[in-house]
Amino acid sequence: MKNLLKLISCLSISLFLFHCSMNMEDKILFDNEQIIDSNFSKSFLENFNKNKNFSSSYNIFLSDEIDEVLVSSFMKGIEFGFFSNQNSIKSKISFVTFEEQNNCDIIKSKGFNVVLVRNLNSNFYKKCQKKLSRNSLFTSLAANGEVEFQKIDEKSLTIVGKNRVSKNNGSVLSLRNSSNYEQKIADYFEINLSNERVRSLRNVLKEKLNFSPRKRKDVNKIFIDASPNETERIIPAIRYNLIFGVEVLTYPKSIDVWNSELGLNELNKIEGFEHPILLNRINVFEKVLLGFDVNEKIAFSKGFDLFFFGTKIRNRSSNFSGLLGKYEVKENFVFSRPLKFSIGFKGVKQG
């Protein structure tokens, strides 16, 4: 708790220094060479450029159960939003830490109250979500929006990373007990058996044979649910093993284009769901986000959205896109829904 209070003090001091160094007019919001225009980008730009409505005061209540690194990123997002508009810097911001066993009446400040809890299973949320006024909304720094893939069937394979749990009913290839992803993928698709058969034929016929190894025909979709570092090995392994004619789709937090070493030629024909901030190379945020991991980027983006677009979120606006996609409020809890995306040689298309 002491470290968290120290963090809040340091970030409060840095607000002034950050304001002095930021010049929004010199920034270009989207890199048009990498982002194909979409309804999402249009909606975000429109909301960003036209937003002039800010609450007079924001009260951020932070549970002591949240990781301090993520809290730091979240508060940097608020800080960034605070100095992004001449109207926003007129708002007053306060930060209050609380313990999960506290009574609900700790949330009694006037203005727009954001109560940050660990997740939907938070005891504080369960006991207080119906007791607090409409000026108070709960949320978490977890990526809690659901995704719906179409046509997950018996010909679908999910490649699951070491720290992920499979989310569909098809076949699963787990990387939990393996460090050689390339070999494991080749073995699953029986590429090596094809190579072995050709070697045997060459030995019998004593002739050179031209061939392309054939994959298994019982898989037509590959879903990737892994960390970005794992995905950067999984996708090249799929390409290397000549597994063509198969759709490749990714779950949220599986690709981090900000830090990815994969090029568009390797990411070509990849589709899935993702949190927009992880795919949109938004130049105005680039220097801040490059040093963050995926979870820190999400925390930063949630902080920015809750401050910069807080009035729209509080009013449950139905036409609103933030850095994390479409926002919605259910049972006094703020959710963000990941967007569909597709990657081709021309760039990334969202929405």
Instruction: Look up the domain containing 21 and give its range.
Output: 2-145+282-336
How many CB atoms neighbour CB 280 within 10 A? 26
Asked if residue 181 and residue 39 are part of one domain, the reply reads no
Q: Residue 87: phi, psi to the nearest 5? A: -75, -35
Residue 68 neighbours by CB under 8 Å, 6+ apart? 3, 4, 7
User: How high is the pLDDT of residue 274?
Assistant: 87
230-240: burial string, b at 16+ Cβ within 10 Å, e else: bbbbbbbbbee
Asked if residue 258 and residue 137 are part of one domain, the reply reads no
Asked if residue 296 and residue 328 are part of one domain, the reply reads yes
Asked if residue 165 and residue 136 are part of one domain, the reply reads no
Instruction: Give me the CATH number covering residue 57.
Output: 3.40.50
User: How high is the pLDDT of residue 239?
Assistant: 79
User: How high is the pLDDT of residue 215?
Assistant: 53
The domain tally of the chain equals 2
Q: Are 215 and 191 in contact (CB under 8 A)?
A: yes
Q: Residue 45: phi, psi to the nearest 5? A: -60, -40
User: How high is the pLDDT of residue 51?
Assistant: 85
Asked if residue 346 and residue 204 are part of one domain, the reply reads yes
Asked if residue 271 and residue 186 are part of one domain, the reply reads yes
User: How high is the pLDDT of residue 256?
Assistant: 83
User: How high is the pLDDT of residue 305?
Assistant: 93
Q: What is the CA radius of gyration of the chain?
A: 23
Asked if residue 115 and residue 255 are part of one domain, the reply reads no
Asked if residue 346 and residue 212 are part of one domain, the reply reads yes
pLDDT in tens for each of the 351 residues of the chain? 555 554 454 444 344 334 434 443 333 333 445 556 567 777 777 788 888 889 889 999 999 999 999 999 999 999 999 988 888 888 999 999 999 899 998 887 788 899 999 998 999 999 998 888 677 899 999 876 667 776 677 788 899 998 888 776 678 899 888 888 888 888 887 765 444 444 443 444 445 545 445 555 678 889 999 999 999 999 988 877 666 678 899 999 898 877 777 877 788 889 998 888 777 656 667 777 878 888 999 999 999 999 999 888 888 776 677 888 888 888 899 988 888 888 887 777 777
Q: Is residue 151 part of a domain?
A: no
Q: Helix 181-188 crosses helix 191-205 at what angle (to 10 degrees)?
A: 70
Asked if residue 243 and residue 130 are part of one domain, the reply reads no
Distance, first Cα to last Cα, the chain? 40
Q: Is residue 150 part of a domain?
A: no
